[in-house]
Amino acid sequence: SLEVIVSQDRRLPLTAVNLWYHVGPANEEPGRTGFAHLFEHLMFQGSKHTPPDSHFQMLEAAGATDINGTTDYDRTNYFETVPSSQLELALWIESDRMGYLLDTVDQAALSNQQDVVRNERRQSFENRPYGIAEEEVIHMLYPKGHPYYGNVIGSHQDIQAAKLDDVKQFFKRYYAPNNASLAIVGDIDPAQAKTLVEKYFGTLKRGAAVPPITTETPKITSERRKVVQDRIELPRVYMAWLTAPIFKPGDADADIAAEVLGGGRSSRLYKKLVYEKQIAQDVGVGQQSLILGSQFEIRATARPGHTPEELEAAINDEIKNLQANPPTANEIERARNGIETRMISRLEQLGGFGGVADRLNSYNHYLKTPDYLQKDIERYRAVTPATVQAFARAELQPNARVVVYAVKGQPDLGAPVATPSAAQAAAGQGAESINVDEPWRKEIPKPAAAKTLQVPTPESVQLSNGLTLILSNRKGLPVVSANLVVRTGSDANPTSSPGLANFTAAMLDEGTATRNALQIADEVAQIGATLATNSSMDASTVTVRSLKKNFAAALDLAADVTLRPSFPADEIERQRTQRLGQLVQQRENPNALAAAVTATVLYGPSHPYGYTELGTETSVKAMTRDTMVQFWKQNFVPNNAALVVAGDITMAELKELAEKSFGSWQRGMPVRPALGSPATASARVVIVDRPGAPQTQLRVATIGLARSSPDFRAVQVMNTVLGDRKSTRLNSSHVSESRM
């Protein structure tokens, strides 16, 4: 009684295979937090007819991508996207671990994955800024013993306490065909796909009936508060409430309320805390919709020199304002349009996390109907200003919330949990079988005839002012993305002004000749579009994405910020303060810190590549409006740019829109940076000390080939063989992949 969902999609000769087991922390027992996630890891270690640790190797060798598994509170999923000719391989692997995992799993495999998951916990929570504060929010929302209390990953104690017998019982109870659903989406023949599913899954035994989830989530009746110390530079405030379960009445209203309050630069909290008061570095609001009670969370990080108390007071004011004054019709429309655009845009991806196959499985899991997309959109269209106000009044009350302050200090990670010795880990071997062996499963399926890849050939034309248009016409979804690429980036930064290109790019959408920063943000949100400006070492970009019906308006906005930025003095100071805060935050992030030190060591202080895109505190403080305007005037010219577009649009349509939006752009003489030789040091070890860090990050780096080198592609292949994928040499030899 495996549920099978099949959807034909002929866009590419690819097929997404997505298998959901209806089990997650919601099904866990007290004292076994994180068990569903630990078990997910065990599913990648091999089964009776597949060699140990061969899962990624076989799939990647067959050309698969998006290979992974994830555990969330209410479910566990496994997925891969394969060439359509390799569908049988994916079904063979998935069916073998569903039917024959316990034939090979032993104490050694369990002990190995306990170590891996505990290290993932260190990486994802204990060594990540604000990670333990976020976990504390969950601990305070739910009582001990509640299935959600341990978050998804669980505690060191519970992870280490798992026994082989626990694994066996968990598998028998939850990993059976009658507790799973399989979605197959792509360039397939549906009848043939169903025949293959019957072949590989049809003989697997049905499991016992899965016990229903009976946990009740108690309401919060008085405010719960806590201060959590962490290795961070800037304090942060979290507020969280328990709200309506997923897809129940009130869930869509919570999503819209989250957008109105904190869904980007057009939201109320951004405008008040980040833009107007300038007390927050960032702010975000979200609704995580779940079976046993959803989590509505507000998060705000303080600017240097500001306090959590300031943030909390300002957030309280905005919540009270929403309770007293319903959002405007425009606010609701902005929120709804953004949600709808994201929902439709995600349909571009067949597989992986959040792709079409995953969405079908999600609807099936929660609603018992995979065909729910249109109704999902309609439930947001039913939200009104009055229903959002009613949600805020009923749910966002002070006596029903959790408040956590994350502040700089020494974190309390609890007592260390010992790792058993190798001899102890090897004890207690013992595999068992559930399904009768079928010898034919030992043979790896051969691929079917490969299907021809037919993709549109990109078209290219040039406008009279020198702007190059490049189009990849993609039918099927009413979505268009455009990326204006200017061939000058941080490589053109003067040695004395690292960060100039990035600061200039950041100012483009902070005001134009006819729109101020907030008007730009509101207009972008009103049509459900996204607009971003950025730089890299070799380019500056203006990126826009929208539904096709709104693409003309979106492209006009992109052109306005590119051709007519006004660089307002007050916005420069706002952006300067923001960037100084980001530089402070770099010091608390191990990844950012390692990247910054690596760049400096490799290239030296006299080379543009020796700095991060932000530059330095000294350069950010010294940057002037005149310098930025000059950089923009010289380099943001059409003969130094290309407008790269992909989506449901023809070249004739694109050219007409581009002429209208960018036709007045005047040619110029861009900078052609002459990069000198890096002042790299001889081989050495550089140690960045972070006292008390629970995890060490190691980087081995050298300067590689220029992009123009004839050996560039060969080196890319070499890097892929060494360590760019999960089955590569370094990962296979030294790394156990973390999945969550």
The answer to whether residue 309 is catalytic is no
Please tell me the total number of residues recorded for the chain in this structure: 740
Is residue 503 within 8 Å of residue 619, measured between CB atoms?
no
Token pair 């590989």: residue: 200
Show the tokens assigned to 687: 């140690």
CA distance 107 to 420: 12
CA distance 81 to 68: 10
Show the tokens assigned to 501: 């290109």
Q: Of the residues 40, 126, 297, 318, which is catalytic?
A: 40
Is residue 556 within 8 Å of residue 529, measured between CB atoms?
no
CA distance 565 to 665: 13
Is residue 298 within 8 Å of residue 269, measured between CB atoms?
yes
What is the CA angle 300-336-545, rounded to 5?
85
* Residue 249 phi, psi (nearest 5): -55, 130
CA distance 412 to 407: 12
CA distance 623 to 578: 14
Alpha carbon distances (Å) from 361 to 178, 222, 354, 364, 370: 14, 37, 10, 5, 6
Nearest to 99 by CA among 199, 3, 193, 171: 171
SS (H, E, C) 175-230: CCHHHEEEEEEECCCHHHHHHHHHHHHCCCCCCCCCCCCCCCCCCCCCCEEEEEEE
CA distance 485 to 541: 5
State whether residue 471 is helix, strand or coil.
strand
Buried b (16+ CB within 10 A) or exposed e, 467-489: bbbbbebbeebbbbbbbbbbbbb
Residue 290: exposure state from Cβ atoms within 10 A (0-12, 13-18, ≥19): buried
Amino acid identity at 358: D
CA distance 263 to 335: 8
What DSSP string describes 134-152? Answer: HHHHHHHHS-TTSTTTTTT
Report, as residue numbers or ranges, the catalytic residues.
Answer: 40
